[in-house]
Amino acid sequence: MTSRRDFLSSAAILGAAAAVSPMLSSAAAEKKGGSHYRPPVRWGMGGVALGNAFKVTPDELAEETMEGAWEAGVRYYDTSPWYGLGLSERRFGHFLDGQNREDYVISTKIGRLMVPDAKFRHGMWKGDLGFNYKYDYTAEGARRSIEDSLQRLGIPSLDIVFIHDLSPDNEDMKEKWMEFFDVAAKGAMPELTKMRDEGLIKGWGFGVNTIEPILKALEVSDPDLFLSATQYSLMKHEDALERLFPACEKHGVSLVIGAPLNAGFLAGVDRYNYGGTIPDGFKEKREKITNIAREYGTDLRTVALQFTAAPKVVSATIPGARSAEQAKQNAESMKAKIPSEFWSALKKEELIAQNAPEPGQA
């Protein structure tokens, strides 16, 4: 029987055999001479919505969404076994099967293994998904998770792997998150480093909704980049500027910004992040920013997305989408021009931090 290690080694050989397109062949995209992998694209697409987050997304709509994203120029896709308990990965895989592997960047995550369970239901993922999950941050668990993801995606290689939801905000862990962290420090982290050195992946890090696990990982390991969700947006960014960005810059690693629209809040949905509770004053702040954006000939979605992509430490921002129209709107927002005076107006009204990087700054 073929071992998981043999399976992944074969996958790496297949991936390495593919010719690399000019878009993805920049020196910044490879880990050479001690540099860390950084995706060579400014924005991408998150896969939470395609995992039936908050409501069921029909297969046809999911396919149309991915087609719309591709047509709009999106070439970085982020998914996870957790998103829809494997559904998001299967949907991405179905679409990407028709694309050249060298033409896009893809990241997924490890930390949870899917197990068949017809009766399991979860509050965030809607529909009859047929799977439950168990945590596994060991070395073997990391290898198993990546093998499973490759099979669901139907592709021979991955670019980025994030250790997922190993964080104090995880309701399954809470104050015990450090116990899981210690397992990962001895298992998943060195194993992912080994896989990177073997050429099986290009880079790895953490994908979390808080700052503390990122800072801790930088102390004990050699990650390449992090997916930081909900921590840097128009609504909340001061702590990231104060603690997260300097730490990443010191270690020469970059950040992918997840949930840049705060799970739809900055696109006009009255839902904030994944818990649903909107903090006091945030609706008023959103309205003020919306009104100022209108004065300068732009819109809330556009300024929110470009704000998250502006810092030099940020390699990409990855808003989600549930329709082709949303995917196209996100892409158009990233290409739009915003007057520099707009950002000065936000700072004057104290709606963003004075030291927040502005799009277009050198």
| Phi, psi for 336 (deg, rounded to 5) | -75, 155
Residue 349 and residue 227: Cα distance in Å, rounded? 30
> How far, CA to CA in Å, does 217 sit from each of 12, 120, 175, 223?
26, 32, 17, 7
Taking a C-beta distance cutoff of 8 angstroms, is the pair 343, 352 a contact?
A: yes
DSSP per-residue string spanning 32-51:
-TT-----S-SB-EE-SGGG
Taking a C-beta distance cutoff of 8 angstroms, is the pair 343, 68 a contact?
A: no
> How far, CA to CA in Å, does 32 sit from each of 20, 35, 41, 180?
16, 5, 19, 31
Catalytic residue among 83, 133, 137, 232: 83
Cβ atoms within 10 Å, residue 135: 18
- Counting every residue written for the chain, the total comes to 362
76 in catalytic set: no
Amino acid at 352: I
Residue 345 and residue 322: Cα distance in Å, rounded? 32
Residues designated as active site: 83
